[in-house]
Structure formats: structure tokens, C-alpha cells
């Protein structure tokens, strides 16, 4: 898959513990590059051995639009379905504001702990996907606050 010329980079970072994938999101996360970022993050998760936690460092993340937010929600959904922990690190004020306005702040920033592995489920397993989509559906319902108060 060809990279976009101004695509944010998904850069690997050193992990503090084994079985953890740490990635830095660098640049804007928007409609133009969202699919590529999602692809890169999922590729990194699949490439790791017995991954139990995903940490996304947002320190160098630029602007995030609604499509970028959808990418973060999709990543969370994939990790939930697979029983992998999910963490957003170094959430800056711009991203925090977007997450609070859309009602997704707690959903995306509360550390999701890895579930004990009962065997390989793969990304998008039926049991995990049902639970994850219910949680994201609640977050998406809250997105109506974007129109009412901002």
C-alpha cells in the first residue's frame, strides 16, 4: 500500500515490557491518512509476538478530525476484540478537548487491561466485536454533544 505524501508516521518506540507494542503517532490524523494509519497500527499488532498491550504515544500528534477519531475508536475496537490492552499516552490539550466534546475521553483514555488469553481469537472475533461495538456505540451516541455545546 502506497504511503500518502504527508501521512503521519506510525513509528515504533521501545517497549518497557515484553508483549507490549509501543507506537508514536506523528502528524495529523485525518480523513486523508486515517486508513493508512489504521493499517500500520494493525500491521504492527499482528507482527508482534504474543502482544498483550498496545500503547499509542500522542505527544507528536497534530490535528485530529472526525475520521481520525474514528480510527482511534477502530483501533480500540480491534484491541478489545483480541483481548489486548489499549493505552493512549501523552494526550495533548487539543486531542483531549476533542475526546471530551465527543464523549469519548474516558472510553479511549482509561487504560484497557489485557484480558487473560483463552486462546487465539484474531482481530475482529465475534464475541469480542459484539462487546466492543456496544461500548463504541455508547461513545458515538454521546457525539451529539459536539453540535449542542461547541
β-pairing verdict for 61-64 and 9-13 = unpaired
Cβ atoms of 28 and 62 within 8 Å: the answer is: yes
CA distance 150 to 146: 6
Per-residue pLDDT, 9: 81
**79: nearest Cα among 23, 28, 29:** 23
- Which pLDDT band holds residue 69 (cuts at 50, 70, 90)? very high
Per-residue model confidence as pLDDT tens digits over 80-130? 999 999 999 999 999 999 999 999 999 999 887 777 654 444 444 333 333
What average pLDDT does the chain have?
79
87-105: burial string, b at 16+ Cβ within 10 Å, e else: bbeebeeebeebbebbbbb
pTM (two decimals): 0.72
Per-residue model confidence as pLDDT tens digits over 35-66? 999 999 999 999 888 999 999 999 999 999 99
Amino acid at each position: 500500500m502506497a504511503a500518502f505524501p504527508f501521512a503521519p508516521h506510525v513509528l515504533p518506540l521501545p517497549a518497557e515490557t515484553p508483549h507490549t507494542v509501543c507506537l508514536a503517532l506523528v502528524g495529523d490524523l485525518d480523513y486523508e491518512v486515517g486508513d493508512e494509519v489504521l493499517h500500520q497500527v494493525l500491521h504492527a499488532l499482528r507482527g508482534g509476538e504474543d502482544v498483550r498491550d498496545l500503547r499509542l504515544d500522542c505527544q507528536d500528534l497534530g490535528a485530529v478530525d472526525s475520521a481520525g477519531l474514528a480510527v482511534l475508536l477502530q483501533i480500540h475496537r480491534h484491541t478489545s476484540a483480541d483481548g489486548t490492552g489499549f493505552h493512549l499516552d501523552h494526550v495533548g490539550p487539543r486531542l483531549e478537548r476533542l475526546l471530551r466534546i465527543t464523549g469519548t475521553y474516558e472510553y479511549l483514555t482509561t487504560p484497557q487491561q489485557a484480558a487473560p488469553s483463552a486462546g487465539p481469537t484474531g482481530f475482529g472475533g465475534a464475541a469480542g466485536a459484539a462487546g466492543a461495538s456496544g461500548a463504541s456505540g455508547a461513545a458515538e451516541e454521546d457525539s451529539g454533544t459536539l453540535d449542542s455545546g461547541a
